[in-house]
Amino acid sequence: MAWIVLVISGLLETAWAIALDRSAGFTRLVPSLVFGVTLVLSMAGLAYALREIPVGTGYAVWVGIGAVGTALVGMLALNEPASLPRIACLLLVVAGVVGLKVFH
């Protein structure tokens, strides 16, 4: 259960990062509210998962999911560059996250 919560929390990290960008420095209400709610839920899920998963592994997986998710949303929906080297680097992050789970 802790791993499922951790993955969901990582996805929520993606949501709050995108909402933070869309809030335009907290000048737009809806993205600012989405940021606040998803940030709290993401942190709460991380805290819950860390009751069973070591902090080094849990935090690295959480950050990895959030970073890859945010970069993918940027490339797929926000017209950020999607170059081959950038995609290769994201695959390396995914490999690291998978490795941390496998060798947990």
**Which token pair is 89?**
């680097």
Q: pTM here?
A: 0.89
pLDDT digits over 26-53, tens only? 999 999 999 999 999 999 999 999 999 9
Q: What is the pLDDT of residue 47?
A: 98
Determine the pLDDT at residue 82: 94
Question: Where along the chain do its domains lie?
Answer: 2-102
Q: Alpha-carbon distance 90 to 39, whole Å?
A: 23
Q: Using one digit for the tens of pLDDT, what is the confidence trace for 83-96?
A: 999 999 999 999 99
